[in-house]
């Protein structure tokens, strides 16, 4: 009996030490809370939307749907965090820019076009190029001018939404073409929201890249020790630069989904505070925000946990403006629990509790 107890606790301890423990525990906690509060949270129904196509609906589907952009951003943000030891706070503004570019290319000079002026794929590719160029701008400042990432990206953060408005002459183009809405909504006949497929595709591409190239290894090496990775023949500056360009690509994909959801854009509101959510996803995944080792799965899971939390709060009729207060409390609790010092103290406490009964038995 004693030995079995030990193995169970050892197993728990092992899991406790694993990085992915934090997001999983948070997810389970949230799920449990919802199960107790209202089991209908987990109900998924098959209905029809206004166009008469079959669609799945339910809170879980909402989470998967709206968590997509965040998960895609979390991929890029994890790499940036790992390699440069800092975060890109300009992703929200960059999404505004890339979304604005998509609309600009699709609409041409007319802000309410009857037909699209260019194929969607062209618009997407142009926005990819633009977003990567802005990523390259951030990357240059961080990698070659050695400016702290948070500060370097502050530039785009302040200017981004202004640039986005400037691209479309401050007009708000609206696209009436239904096929443009497929990226953020449903493709007729398929009941699962399209963003989920896009997110899964991004994850598969990332997984393959990390599996078959050295990108992940190099990012970690540069993040852990810039100088020694240089001595080992890596080019730290270029790898940092590359991660920002990759994040730019992620931003373009997320931007396409965002504008497709509305078929329009609101420069000051689109992807508001998403940079904070993306950083929190990385932190929730248990990744060190100071760079180095990372766990991509944990980050992506972290993104969905954040979306889970948001949806849960919405369900309890929390005002969207007040949402952040509750989020902050949860985040602080999680971060405090996962802080190394607190963990050490908890382990010490547990050990002393274990020792006391043992000592009694001996006595």
Partner 1 sequence: MATKTMKPVSLRNKLKNMTDTNLLLLITIVVFFVMYIGAMLFLGKGFLKPQTFFNILNANAALIILACGMSLVMITGGIDISVGGVTALVSMSCAVYLDHHNGNVFVSALLALAIGLAFGLIQGYLIAYLDIQPFIVTLAGMFFARGMTTIVHTNPFNVENTAFKALKETRVLIPGMGSVNKAGNYVDAYIEIGVIVALLVVAALFVILRWTKLGRSFYAVGGNNQSALMLGVNVKRTKFYSHLICGLLAGIGGYVYFLHVGSGSASHASGAEMNAIASSIIGGTMLTGGVGNIIGTLFGVLSLSTIQNIVSSVGLDQAWWTGITIAAMLCLFLVIQSIVMSRKSTNGLKLPFKKMRKE
DSSP element (H, E) containing 57: strand 54-57
Contacts of 95 (CB under 8 A, 6+ apart): 69, 251, 254, 255, 258, 270, 271, 274
Distance of CA 314 to the CA centre of its chain: 19
42-50, 120-128, 216-224, 316-324 -> range binding partner 1 (CB under 8 A): 316-324
Q: Which residue, among 280, 275, 282, has the nearest Cα to 297 in the 3D structure? A: 282
Q: 96 or 249: whose CB is closer to partner 1?
A: 96
In the numeric block, the tokens 């107890």 are attached to: 5
List residues bridging with 47 in a β-sheet: 55
Binding residue count for partner 1, defined by CB under 8 A: 48
Binder of partner 1 out of 44, 269, 339, 348 (CB under 8 A): 339
Q: Does 349 bind partner 1 (CB under 8 A)?
A: no
Q: Please state, in angstroms and rounded to a whole number, the distance separating the CA atoms of residues 246 and 248.
A: 5
Q: Does 279 bind partner 1 (CB under 8 A)?
A: yes
Q: Does 96 bind partner 1 (CB under 8 A)?
A: no
Binder of partner 1 out of 136, 155, 174, 224 (CB under 8 A): 155
Binder of partner 1 out of 46, 133, 207, 332 (CB under 8 A): 332
Q: Does 328 bind partner 1 (CB under 8 A)?
A: yes
DSSP element (H, E) containing 47: strand 45-48
Binder of partner 1 out of 6, 9, 48, 158 (CB under 8 A): 158
Q: What share of the chain is helix, strand, coil (3-state, %, to 5)?
A: 70, 0, 25
CB atoms within 10 A of CB 82: 29
Q: Does 165 bind partner 1 (CB under 8 A)?
A: yes
Q: Does 323 bind partner 1 (CB under 8 A)?
A: yes
Q: Does 327 bind partner 1 (CB under 8 A)?
A: yes
What six digits make up the tokens of 230? 């240089």
Q: Please state, in angstroms and rounded to a whole number, the distance separating the CA atoms of residues 24 and 322.
A: 26
Q: Does 162 bind partner 1 (CB under 8 A)?
A: yes
Q: What is the smallest separation between the CB atom of 87 and partner 1, expressed in angstroms?
A: 7
Q: 195 or 291: whose CB is closer to partner 1?
A: 291
Contacts of 3 (CB under 8 A, 6+ apart): none
Binder of partner 1 out of 151, 204, 208, 346 (CB under 8 A): 151
Q: Does 276 bind partner 1 (CB under 8 A)?
A: yes
Q: Please state, in angstroms and rounded to a whole number, the distance separating the CA atoms of residues 259 and 255.
A: 6
State the residues that interact with partner 1 by CB under 8 A: 87, 141, 144-148, 150-152, 154-163, 165-166, 170, 237, 276, 279-280, 283, 289-290, 319, 321-329, 331-332, 335-336, 339-342
């Amino acid at each position: 009996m004693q030995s079995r107890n030990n193995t169970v606790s050892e197993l728990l301890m092992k899991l406790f030490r694993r990085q992915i423990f934090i997001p999983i525990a948070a997810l389970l906690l949230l799920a449990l809370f919802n199960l107790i509060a209202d089991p209908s949270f987990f109900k998924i129904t098959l209905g029809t939307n206004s166009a008469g196509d079959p669609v799945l609906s339910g809170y879980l589907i909402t989470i998967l749907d709206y968590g997509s952009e965040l998960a895609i951003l979390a991929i890029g943000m994890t790499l940036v965090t790992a390699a440069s030891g800092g975060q890109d706070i300009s992703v929200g503004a960059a999404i505004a820019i890339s979304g604005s570019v998509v609309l600009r290319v699709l609409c041409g000079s007319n802000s309410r076009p009857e037909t699209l002026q260019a194929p969607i794929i062209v618009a997407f590719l142009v926005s990819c190029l633009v977003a990567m160029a802005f990523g390259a701008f951030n990357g240059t400042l961080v990698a070659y001018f050695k400016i702290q990432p948070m500060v370097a990206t502050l530039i785009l953060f302040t200017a981004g939404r202004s640039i986005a408005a400037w691209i479309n002459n401050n007009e708000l183009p609206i696209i009436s073409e239904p096929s443009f809405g497929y990226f953020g909504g449903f493709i007729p006949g398929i009941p699962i929201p399209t963003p989920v497929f896009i997110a899964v595709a991004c994850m598969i591409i990332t997984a393959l890249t990390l599996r078959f190239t050295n990108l992940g290894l190099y990012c970690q090496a540069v993040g852990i020790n810039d100088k020694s990775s240089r001595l080992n023949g890596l080019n730290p500056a270029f790898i940092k630069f590359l991660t920002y360009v990759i994040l730019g690509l992620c931003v373009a994909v997320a931007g396409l989904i965002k504008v497709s959801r509305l078929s329009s854009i609101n420069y000051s509101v689109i992807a508001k505070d998403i940079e904070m959510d993306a950083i929190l996803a990385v932190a929730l995944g248990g990744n060190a925000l100071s760079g180095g080792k990372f766990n991509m799965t944990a980050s992506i899971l972290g993104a969905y946990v954040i979306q889970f939390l948001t949806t849960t709060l919405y369900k309890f009729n929390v005002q969207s403006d007040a949402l952040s207060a509750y989020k902050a409390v949860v985040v602080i609790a999680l971060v405090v629990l996962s802080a190394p010092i607190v963990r050490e103290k908890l382990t010490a406490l547990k050990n002393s509790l274990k020792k006391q009964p043992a000592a009694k038995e001996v006595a």
